[in-house]
Structure formats: structure tokens, C-alpha cells
Amino acid sequence: MMNYTESLNYLYSLGHEVLAAKYGLESISLLLEKLGHPERSFKSVIVAGTNGKGSVAAMIESIARSAGHRCALFTSPHLVRIEERMRVSGQEIDESDFARLASRVREASEELVAAGLLNAAPTFFEQVAAIALCYFQERGAELAVLEVGLGGRLDATNAVERSVSVITSIDLDHQNILGSTIEEIAGEKAAIIVPGTRAVIGRQAHQAAIEVLMRRCLETSVLPVFANAPGQIETDDRGRLVFDYESSHSRYSRIALGLLGRHQADNAAAAIEAAELLSEMGFGITRENIMSGLREVSWPGRLEMIDDQPPVLLDGAHNPAGARALRAYLDEFWPGAITLVFGAMGDKDVDRMAAELLDAARTVVLTRVRDIRAAGNARLGKAALHRARNVIFTETVRQALSWARSVTPPDGLVCVAGSLHLVGEVKRLLEEEDSQNAMMKSET
């Protein structure tokens, strides 16, 4: 059996999560069959979309947990530790369980190749998904909420039988894989809607996406529930929301949401509708459970405020729509000086992201994350041209964070955005600092 370090080395040897991905359901289906179909031991909700799918998944899980259910959550990518991707009852898988199940999944994968059933081992994402599903089975999960990795139709999560499919906001992203139009991208995501299930359609900015999703529901004879517009929204000075919502079944007053940003009200609307469907299916989720779950939900790296001097705001904002939501938050809730630490993947629409964000900052610190997909400083610098007043180029994320802190006044804000990989590296640096500070305190 592999130890934890060996299991990580093995999984990463399978290739880059995105660049080496092979989209299709054959490998994951054979792998789950070989493992005894762990995914059939619990009910599942699958969440797809361009933006908000992770937030909605976290909200549904928090609501189900508030109702006392043993709920599992599978998300991607991770920010600091791979164990973040798989949780049961809010707790990450531990290293020993991860290593043991990674060894089991590796053995099953190699047996499929040896038997000639597969030409190559399942991919990184497929094997990580299998590890998660085996873990959920072992821990006796009643319900699993699964965030789609990329797209929907050919994503490994689509091999799992589901009770409810949720589609969040659809916009342009990953066009090199999913298609160049809203219609094509919506078609890929709509494929998680399958016969014999229920579907929740989150609020959409594009009529073309709504038409594709409706057509899929008609083709599969699935009755959809559409999330409504939230009612009166109030915010505090940091952007925490209190809002009203009239769902398909009930009226909610003064829902307090644990996540920042007005756009999260739309995500919460989709989560409420999904929770009500689950209640109809026997999960016994009450209005109070929904209110409590939304109040307590957390979702790191998405408008996550780190109290420091100056404070640090972390937001993935990895496509133009995400950048637009972040800009709306900054414009409304942060009138002071902003230093933006910006890095992005080279296959993203860096120009449009830069157009949304860069002129909100007094200083922009450009950096490259440790990923072969990452855009270099030349690409970032071109995108920043004429859009930022002061631009600093750095070679590492550590340098970028140091520079940003040094040029930002105590009452200013350091905003880190453009990539979840960048957010993850900054979170890792901040955790290292906290650990070092705690060690110094213990020695004095």
C-alpha cells in the first residue's frame, strides 16, 4: 500500500488535471464497476455551471448537515491540500484514509489496463473522484453533493446516478474544450439533466442558455424548478447579505448568508430550491435547516476576507463573469486603496478579465503561479497595458504578496484574484506565516 506522499506522487504522475484530461465516461464507469459501485450506496446531487457551482454545492451540503444528515461533499480544484476535495460531515478525509483508498483505486485501475479493458489508466480527476466516492461509502454518507469538474456531459461526476441536478449561471469559459458559444457550453452542462430525476435551473444571464436547458428538460421529461430572483437585499459594510426569497414552496424572510457578495443571493436561491426538492424526496429538511445552513456555510477562496494589516481578500475570479462579480463587490464595498495581485491561466480570456478588474486598483502586482497552464508576465503585462496606473512584475507568488503588502496602507486592501491556483498559493503562504507566528509565541 502507498503512503500519503507516494499516493500524491502517483496521482500527479498521471498528468495535469486539465491538460492531460480525457473527457468521457468509459474509464470512470469501468473503474466504479471494478470498485463495486460505491456511488450506489448513497443519494447524490450533481452541480454544474460556469460560476457559482462550488458555492451552491457548499450551500446544499451545509443545509443537509444542518438537518442532521450525514452529508458528503466533493469539489475541485483544491486550494492547499488535495484532501479538501472530499469531506464527510464537514471534515476532510485524513491522510491515512486518502493513501489507503488511493492504493485501492490504483490497483483497480491497473487491473483494468492489464485485462485490456482500458488502454490507459484513468486520469487524475477520475481516480480522485473514485477515491472520494469510496470514502463516502465507507463513512456511511446518506447524501453526496458533487461539483462537476469541467463541463458536465463527459465529466466523471456524470457517471454517478443522481436524484437532483443543479445548473448554476452559464457563461463563456473553457471554450477550447466546451465550445465557443453560450449554446454549446450550455449543451455540455445541460447533459447532467437525465431522465427520472429532478432539475434546478439557477438564474441565467443569457437567454440562449435558458433555451438550451429547457430543451434538455423536454427531451428527458424532467420537470425543472427555476430559481427566482431574490427579494429585498440588505448588506453590511463588508458585503454580508440578508435577503428575502419566495421559493416554489415557501416564503423566506431575512435569510442571513455566510458568503460575501450580492451574486451569492442568486446561488442561495438555487440551493434553496434543491434543498426543498431533497425534502420532498424524504430528507426532511425544514425551513429552519435551510436558514441555518445558509448562515453557517463557508467556501474558501471565494470573496474570502482574511483579517490582517492590511486585510487580504481572496477570490478565484478565473473568468470574465467571475471578474465582473468581484469588481461589483469592490466597487460597492471597498472605497479605499486597493492593491491587486493578479495571475491567470493562459487558456483563459485574460484580456477581458483584466478589463473588468485592473483599473479598480491603485497598484497591480502581476505574478505567475506554479502551473504549466499559467500565463507568463509578457501576456499579463500586455493585458495590463493602459488598464492599470502602477504595475509591478514579480517572478513568484511569495514576491507578489510581499510587494502588495509593502505598498498597501493599513486601511487599504490586498485583493488576490484571477486564478484559484493563485489563491491556493497565497493561502498556503498565509498558513505558513500563521504556523511560524504560533511557534514563535510558544517559544517566548
Q: Are 80 and 421 in contact (CB under 8 A)?
A: no
User: pLDDT (tens digit, 0 to 9) for every residue of the chain, 444 residues total?
Assistant: 999 999 999 999 998 877 666 778 999 999 999 999 999 999 999 999 999 999 999 999 999 999 999 999 999 999 999 999 999 999 999 999 999 999 999 999 999 999 999 999 999 999 999 999 999 999 999 999 999 988 788 889 999 999 999 999 998 766 666 767 999 999 999 999 999 999 999 999 899 999 999 999 999 999 999 999 999 899 988 889 999 999 988 999 999 999 999 999 999 999 999 999 999 999 999 999 999 999 999 999 999 999 888 999 999 999 999 999 999 999 999 989 999 999 999 988 999 999 999 999 999 999 998 888 899 889 999 999 888 889 999 999 999 999 999 999 999 999 999 999 999 999 999 999 877 877 777 766
Place of cell 465550445: 179
Outline which parts of the chain fall under CATH 3.90.190.20: 304-443
DSSP letter assigned to residue 356 = H
CB 248 within 8 A of CB 256: no
Bridge partners for 312 per DSSP? 306, 414
In angstroms, the CA 280 to CA 174 distance is: 35
Contact 427/300 with Cβ under 8 angstroms?
yes
Q: How many residues does the chain have?
A: 444
Could you give the 3-state DSSP secondary structure of residue 402?
Answer: helix
pTM: 0.95
CA distance 102 to 328: 41
Q: How far is CA 197 from the centre of its chain?
A: 23
Query: Before 335, cis peptide (omega within 30)?
Result: no
Q: Is the dihedral of CA 25, 27, 32, 34 positive or negative?
A: positive
Amino acid found at 369: V
Nearest residue to 259 (alpha-carbon basis) of 306, 299, 290: 299
Domain 4-296 adopts which CATH fold?
UDP-N-acetylmuramoyl-L-alanine:D-glutamate ligase (3.40.1190)
Which pLDDT score, from 0 to 100, does residue 399 have? 97
Grid look-up 502581476 returns: 366
What secondary structure letter does DSSP report for 247?
-
User: Which three three-digit cell numbers place residue 173?
Assistant: 469559459
In angstroms, rounded to a whole number, what is the distance separating the alpha carbons of residues 47 and 275? 13
Where do the CATH 3.40.1190.10 domains begin and end in the chain?
4-296
CATH no. for 304-443: 3.90.190.20
* Grid-cell match 454517478, residue found: 160
CA distance 94 to 414: 32
**Four-CA torsion 54, 428, 424, 17, nearest 10 degrees:** -100
Instruction: List all residues 6 or more positions away from 397 whose beta carbon is below 8 Å from its beta carbon.
Output: 341, 343, 367, 369, 370, 422, 425, 426, 429
Kindly provide the b/e burial profile for residues 193-220, where b requires at least 16 CB atoms within 10 angstroms of the residue's own CB. Answer: beeebbbbbbbbebeebbebbeebbeeb
**Cβ-proximal residues to 434 (8 Å cutoff; 6+ apart), any chain:** none
- The position carrying cell 473527457 is 23
Q: What is d(CA 385, CA 342) in angstroms, rounded to the nearest whole number?
A: 14
In this structure, the strands spanning 71-74 and 43-48 are unpaired
> DSSP character for 94?
P
Note the pLDDT of residue 172: 73
Query: How far is it, in rounded angstroms, from Cα 141 to Cα 390?
Result: 51
294-309: burial string, b at 16+ Cβ within 10 Å, e else: bebbebbbbbbbeeee
- 388 SS3 class: coil
